[in-house]
Amino acid sequence: MAKRGGFPGGMPGNMNNLMKQAQRMQRQMEEATKELEEKEVTATAGGGAVEVTVSGKKEVTKVKLSEEVVDPDDIEMLEDLIQAAINEALRKMEEVSQESMSKITGGLGGLGGGFPF
């Protein structure tokens, strides 16, 4: 009869290695997160008439408008361009973030990465 809760075949050594790898991955993810927070990406809309910069913390850090896009009779267009530029900058930052994390996880697909639990 098999022992309950045991690790047959020398699993404790493998478990220690797995724990060390998990701790190393956690440190790498913390370092990558700090690096990402310092990065910025910029996106434009309206052929460059609106430019928005977003930080790794996903906060808008800069908005630049060309004079020709500022039309008091067409505020809706300006609002739409600002919104489009912000959304594109956020998408770009998300891509940068995903690329950075996938290098660490080796493409495991997230924190649970392929594990059945």
- The answer on pLDDT for 43 being more than 90 is yes
Report field, pTM of the whole predicted structure over 0.85: no
What is d(CA 44, CA 91) in angstroms, rounded to the nearest whole number? 12
State the average pLDDT over residues 88-104.
90
Q: Where are the beta strands (DSSP E) in the chain?
A: 40-45, 50-55, 60-65
Considering only the C-alpha atoms of the chain, give the largest distance between any 2 of them, rounded to a whole number of Å.
83
Mean pLDDT, residues 40-52: 95
Residue 105 has pLDDT above 80, yes or no: no
User: How confident is the model over 64-94, as pLDDT tens digits?
Assistant: 999 999 999 999 999 999 999 999 999 999 9
